[in-house]
Chains A and B, each alone.
Chain A
Amino acid sequence: MSTTTVTTGTARPGRFGPYGGQFVPETLMPALSELIEAYDVARQDPVFATTYDALARDFIGRPTPLYHAAKMTAQVGGAQIYFKREDLAHTGAHKINNALGQGLLAQRMGKRRIIAETGAGQHGVATATTCAMLGLDCIVYMGEEDIRRQAPNVFRMKLLGAEVRPVTSGSRTLKDAINEAIRDWVTNVNDTFYIIGSVVGPHPYPTMVRDFQSVIGRETRAQSIAQVGKLPDAVIACVGGGSNAMGIFHPFHDDLSVRLIGVEAGGDGVATGRHAAPLSAGRPGVLHGALSYLMQDEDGQVVETHSVSAGLDYPGVGPEHAWYKDSARATYVAVDDVGAMAGFELLCRTEGIIPALETAHAIAYAAEYAATRASSECIVVNCSGRGDKDLSTVATRLGVTL
């Protein structure tokens, strides 16, 4: 794992402009300090980097390909569309890049009890996979509603030896799973490592998760130069918490010719209020340890979100995205459930790739965007995950009984 040094507008550690911070109960503050220190030492240790890189190659299957979607490009018309194939990473999504990094760090710190939250189940599966491989105990918190709509991933986690704990509080989705994981961590802080699955949470998580996911952008940058002969003109990724997007965006931060576009979940449509698009329609607030854009009512209560994709069904977003938005380094748009379904079907039919419903949001926007650009331009879409987990949701929406 090589580290990139990129300015982010960070005035002090853990801040991205005004965003980020450490808004957690006092009980966790010493654990965060311990984590900051351990991560700082690990990231400068060549042995840690060598271990990570070897497992990234042999266990995850990196580097993942950059694929020219010639047929989709022809159908859409306009810019050349490429996919960064994170769906081909072990466990079927980018989440493993981060779970492996944090798992190795936990092992190094001597913490044998791992907890994680999951929405779509991809981070839960990636964490359970890492724990099975490293020999660590794994408990995954998952909202009851998400357990219902992501049943295959629940079974996968159990096969991998993890305990899946249903969360019945609040909206019973990702946000509540994080609350419950934080409560577990507060209670068992001395022997437990919390592997957060996105670029959210208190410092150092947004930075650490971004660093582990930046392998996506570093590979993409090198592959684009090698295969296309230039940097991409635009990079497009879906944004829930925002880890696949930040992972592919961050290495392009200083390449100002590269447009960075994040696609949020528009649910029933941003205008209806039933969506999961805090960067498009929220305002700054504190949730899960960080100041960032947040979907909240006028009293500062976090509101329930709506999205066809469990992985994007989250009212907050990583604080570095908030800063990318305010500093205009990236632009953020929303695609609604209907649009995402169209993107899903488009990729299935034109390229023979069944994407995750989360990814389908980025695909839908990419199709729309590419059509407005010249054929000499090159767009990279982060194909963040595969869609096997979503088949029952898709079938239901298409009126098919499996």
Chain B
Amino acid sequence: MALIGWQTIGYPSIDESRTLVTALIDGGFDLIELGVPFSDPQADGTTIQRASFEALRQGATLGAALDTVRTLRAEGVVAPLILMSYYNPILSRGLARFAADACAAGVDGVIVPDLPAEESDDLIAAVEPVGIDVIFLVAPTTPDARLRAIAARARGFLYCVSLTGVTGARQSLPDDLPTYLARVRAFTDVPLAVGFGVSSPEHVASLRGVADAAIIASAIIDRMDRADPIDRAGPLRAFARELRVAADCP
């Protein structure tokens, strides 16, 4: 099973968030989501909200996220890098300019949590020609008819929101998660990645066999916050290794 990690660009600083991407990949993450800070992160819980506000104070924006990707590619990072941005920063930059800049930087995909399939035509038309995937989300509340329509647009992987709620670490994952994932699976062959609340090696282990990837975000920020500020990379690398073991070992 693949592991998808997270960094909020600009938290705790633009440079450190970039070096922590490398630490996560070294520790065993296969793909990294780079969170673009936004003033109004309505789908996020307190952990990512706080990171986002702090990152904005550091001056991190969509431009900083694109610079980060460009630098990581120059440093030789080959793992897929996905931007997670609310729609307005992308819209404000201009869809065509965003597509060109993201392509030049080496971005592989983009996740826009406030852009449902119905509103996504313009973004897809801009980024698909340059080889960037728009990754869609589905939720436990998504009925079959919508699942079918979203699956038809799915590229890269489908982001399966594990629960009805906002992002943030949870004690446990919903009991009916396998049933929900089986329902999604019936509509698509693209890999299914499960996110929101996935926080521990136990959670990751429980997803083996029912999902193709686990997305860990807020729990990474929580680990950073508990780490000694002079070495956040060490604990993150160790956390990544624990998760890797949980993802791989039967």
Residues of the B chain whose Cβ atoms lie less than 8 Å from the Cβ of A25: 42-43, 113-114, 116, 137, 139, 161
**Which among A29, A287, A302 is the interface contact of B116 at CB below 8 angstroms?**
A29
Distance, CA A259 to CA B166, complexed state (A):
44
Q: Is the CB of A186 within 8 A of B118?
A: no
Distance, CA A170 to CA B92, complexed state (A):
20
- Residue interface mask A318-348, B partner, CB < 8 A = 1: 0000000000000000000000000000000
Q: Is the CB of A299 within 8 A of B62?
A: yes
CB distance from B196 to the nearest CB of A (A): 9
B164 CB within 8 Å of chain A = yes
Residues of the A chain whose Cβ atoms lie less than 8 Å from the Cβ of B61: 299-301
**Which among B53, B119, B140, B146 is the interface contact of A170 at CB below 8 angstroms?**
B53
**Which among B53, B63, B136 is the interface contact of A299 at CB below 8 angstroms?**
B63
B171 CB within 8 Å of chain A = no
A24 CB within 8 Å of chain B = yes
**Which among B86, B92, B142, B166 is the interface contact of A29 at CB below 8 angstroms?**
B142
Q: Is the CB of A286 within 8 A of B43?
A: no
**Which among B49, B119, B141, B143 is the interface contact of A169 at CB below 8 angstroms?**
B49
Q: Is the CB of A27 within 8 A of B42?
A: no
Q: Is the CB of B164 within 8 A of A27?
A: yes
CB distance from A191 to the nearest CB of B (A): 11
**Which among A23, A182, A289, A296 is the interface contact of B92 at CB below 8 angstroms?**
A296
Enumerate A348-400 residues with CB–CB distance to B below 8 Å: none
Number of interface residues of A (CB under 8 A): 36
Q: Secondary structure at chain A's binding surface: helix, strand, loop or mixed? A: mixed
Q: Is the CB of A301 within 8 A of B38?
A: yes
Residues of the B chain whose Cβ atoms lie less than 8 Å from the Cβ of A296: 88, 92
Distance, CA A252 to CA B56, complexed state (A):
43
B205 CB within 8 Å of chain A = no
Q: Which of B43, B86, B136, B138 has the most CB of A within 10 A?
A: B43
A299-B141 contact given A25-B42, A286-B114, CB 8 Å threshold: no
CB distance from B173 to the nearest CB of A (A): 16
Q: Is the CB of A22 within 8 A of B92?
A: no
- Residue interface mask B129-173, A partner, CB < 8 A = 1: 000000011111111001000100000000001001110000000
A31 CB within 8 Å of chain B = yes
Nearest CB to that of A169 among chain B residues? B49
Q: Is the CB of A21 within 8 A of B119?
A: yes
Q: Is the CB of B88 within 8 A of A31?
A: no
Distance, CA A29 to CA B136, complexed state (A):
13
A289-B114 contact given A186-B166, A189-B141, CB 8 Å threshold: yes
Enumerate A297-325 residues with CB–CB distance to B below 8 Å: 298-303
Q: Is the CB of A170 within 8 A of B93?
A: no
B89 CB within 8 Å of chain A = yes
Distance, CA A299 to CA B136, complexed state (A):
24
A30 CB within 8 Å of chain B = yes
Q: Which of B45, B62, B166 has the most CB of A within 10 A?
A: B166
- Residue interface mask A154-198, B partner, CB < 8 A = 1: 000000000000000110000110010011001111100000000
B95 CB within 8 Å of chain A = no
Residues of the A chain whose Cβ atoms lie less than 8 Å from the Cβ of B202: none
Q: Is the CB of A286 within 8 A of B116?
A: no
A26 CB within 8 Å of chain B = yes
Nearest CB to that of A302 among chain B residues? B39
B186 CB within 8 Å of chain A = no
Q: Is the CB of A29 within 8 A of B88?
A: no
Could you list some 12 contacts between A and B, CB below 8 A? A23-B115, A24-B114, A25-B139, A25-B161, A27-B139, A28-B141, A30-B143, A186-B43, A188-B164, A299-B61, A300-B90, A300-B93
A residues with a Cβ closer than 8 A to B are: 21-31, 169-170, 175-176, 179, 182-183, 186-190, 285-289, 294, 296, 298-303
